[in-house]
Amino acid sequence: MNPGTIEKTTENPTAATTPVEIFVIMEGGVIHEIANLPPNINVTVIDYDTEGVEEDRLEISPVDGELCTINKW
């Protein structure tokens, strides 16, 4: 590039991006933590094991309309 000239650049929308690795930490079937979650990524955990869950924690799944609990990170 010569001094005083402007070089046109274009972005390639299909260019490869670095994959984001999300770790779901579980212990005994319970998620304790999701580590390395980028600020622009949301994780919703839908748990269909509702036996013994308090009624006020039960929700309808946005995926299939079944009874579940929902946790968001």
41/19 Cα distance (integer angstroms):
12
pLDDT of 29-70, one tens digit each? Answer: 778 888 888 888 888 888 888 889 999 999 999 889 999 988
Q: With a cut of 50, say whether residue 14 has pLDDT above it.
A: no
Stated pTM of the model? 0.57
Furthest C-alpha separation in the chain: 71
69/49 Cα distance (integer angstroms):
8
- Please say whether the beta carbons of 69 and 59 come within 8 A: yes
63/48 Cα distance (integer angstroms):
11
Cβ neighbour number for residue 68 with a 10 Å cutoff: 20
